[in-house]
Structure 1
Amino acid sequence: MRFLHCSDVHMTADYASLPLRPLGWRRWIAMFEQWGGRRKAFAHAPETFATIARESLRPGVDHLIVSGDLTQYALEPEFVLARQALGALAEDPRRCTVIPGNHDVFTPGSHRTGRFARHFGQLLESDLPEHRREGAFPFVRLVGTEAAVVGLSSARVPPMPGIAHGYIGPAQLEGLAEVVKDPRLAGRALLVVVHHAPFTAKGRADHRFHGLKDAQALLALLPGPRFAVLHGHIHRRYHHPATPERPHVFSAGSSTQAGREGYWLIEVKDGRVLGGHQRVPGEETPEPAALHA
């Protein structure tokens, strides 16, 4: 089986055309990022994300996973752009899993009104809903007979722009522990999707204002190659192979950022995660590059 994993597509609204007051002070401060180059970096995000979505429907790809930050600042038109890019996949939990990132709950209002769930709640459905502990999370999606996708949320409303750490919390972790022990999932590989990174490309904890605060508690529940953690948040693509004590860790980077476009094709066989191939959207090669085992 193959899973296409992408992240941090950052659909960006035309802020110059929007009334300033409704944007709120958090977005006013964050707009310095736009002037600093983010707007240019993600100018072609809708087209690139649409290409990735189409490539997830190719023969031999079983499921698309998006590990958060579909939007830049959780604005309604940004969610609309993301949903349009997904096309029919936005209505098909059998073929697509999406979780929120910190940019998708960027303001208290966007979180309070459930803006993410209003557009993508249908992709948070669970085949084992009894394991939910915090809203929709964790949810479980059975894919074929060899794998399951488990969605977690580490995205929390930031107190102010520039503080972007996340945490899963004890309730979701307790639910995940029950998922891992569930006999109905015996023999399946578990691909656990969370937005924040358990550790960086160098294998270190991310800094306190950006990292996943309960990373060690998460990794301790998932020992060995049966498991993989799929995340975004850090705009760099990398893979740490599984060890007997911890799972595979895949960072999809920022899949639509100019000059860094790309995604993972993750291979699962016989209830184990074998590794992944890196791909660039729009490549014509019939087979992906060599496996990162």
Structure 2
Amino acid sequence: MRFVHCSDVHVTGDYFALPLRRLGWRRWLALAELTVGGRARAYRRAPETLARIAQEAREHSADHFILSGDLTAYALDSEFQGAREAMGAWAGDRRRCTVIPGNHDVFTPGSHRSRRFERHFGHLLESDLPEHCREGAFPFVRLVGEEAAVVGLLSARVPAVPGMAQGRVGPAQLEGLAAVVKDPRLAGRALLVVVHHAPLTPRGRADHWFHGLRDAEALFRLLPGPRYAILHGHIHHRYHHVATAERPHLFGAGSSTLAGREGYWVIDVAGGQVRGGRMYTPGAPHA
């Protein structure tokens, strides 16, 4: 079986076409990052790049398309709509697509209260094993063929102030994930667990306090060995840490639409094990 994994696509709206009062103070602060920091320029072609990745997923004969959060720049409704449109038919079929929110998708309390992510992608959160849900829709389980299952976790929380981008799965979801792992209906299946925040950095270390996944070690304890993989984003670097006896495979998808660093993973599963993955650049020739 084959999975395409991308992340942090950051579809970016036209912030200067909106009244400042509608943006709110958090986005006012973010305007410096968009302009002086170059974020708006770096993600100018994000919709086109995401659409290309979605097309190439079909060319790879992928069984399932995974996007591990940060669909938007700062959680505008138009950005969610743009991301869904770019994903095309994948986004309409929960049997073939998994999408979770990242910290940029809950950037403001208002975006969280109004369930803006769910308005566009809530249909993808319905679980095939709903008895294991513990925090709203999470963790949800998607059965994929006979050999694999995808599990979606929520680690993105509304930050107290911009710049505090740490993540937390929390004890309720971890308890639900433990029940998923023990469920006899999943015996013999590889489990691909999707979470936004990175359990480790590319160098194999814990990320810093204001950016990392706070309960990464608890997550590792539930998922030892090559039957399991954690697919994440948040850190804009693409890498793969091979599974050990103590922890699963880790696939960091980087920022899949960042100009000059575009890319995604194709991950293969066979015999109930995660067999590895290969990185691709959208638009480049591939076998």
Scaled by the length of structure 1, what TM-score is found? 0.96
Residue 153 of structure 2 corresponds to which residue in structure 1? 152
Count of residues paired in the alignment? 286
1:165-208 Cα offsets, whole Å, 9 max, x none, are 01000000000000000000000000000000001000100000
Residue 27 of structure 2 corresponds to which residue in structure 1? 27
Which residues of structure 2 form unaligned runs of 5+?
none
- 1:58 and 1:92 mapped to 2: Cα distance? 18
Q: CA deviation at 1:60?
A: 2.7
Q: CA deviation at 1:285?
A: 2.0
Question: Identity rate of aligned residues, in percent?
Answer: 72
3-state DSSP of counterpart to 1:57? helix
1:220-256 Cα offsets, whole Å, 9 max, x none, are 1000000000000000000000001100000000000
- 1:160 and 1:80 mapped to 2: Cα distance? 25
- 1:104 and 1:260 mapped to 2: Cα distance? 21
- 1:212 and 1:245 mapped to 2: Cα distance? 18
3-state DSSP of counterpart to 1:56? helix
Q: CA deviation at 1:59?
A: 5.0
Q: CA deviation at 1:115?
A: 0.3
Residue 254 of structure 2 corresponds to which residue in structure 1? 253
- 2:210 and 2:246 mapped to 1: Cα distance? 27
Q: Which amino acid aligns with 1:23?
A: L
Within the alignment, does 1:274 sit opposite 2:275 as a pair?
yes
Within the alignment, does 1:137 sit opposite 2:138 as a pair?
yes
Q: CA RMSD in A?
A: 0.7
Q: Which amino acid aligns with 1:18?
A: L
- 1:199 and 1:33 mapped to 2: Cα distance? 25
Which residues of structure 1 form unaligned runs of 5+?
287-293
- 1:271 and 1:34 mapped to 2: Cα distance? 43
Residue 15 of structure 2 corresponds to which residue in structure 1? 15
Q: Which amino acid aligns with 1:208?
A: W
- 1:141 and 1:197 mapped to 2: Cα distance? 21
Q: CA deviation at 1:284?
A: 2.6
Residue 97 of structure 1 corresponds to which residue in structure 2? 98
Residue 65 of structure 2 corresponds to which residue in structure 1? 64
Residue 208 of structure 1 corresponds to which residue in structure 2? 209
- 1:224 and 1:177 mapped to 2: Cα distance? 15
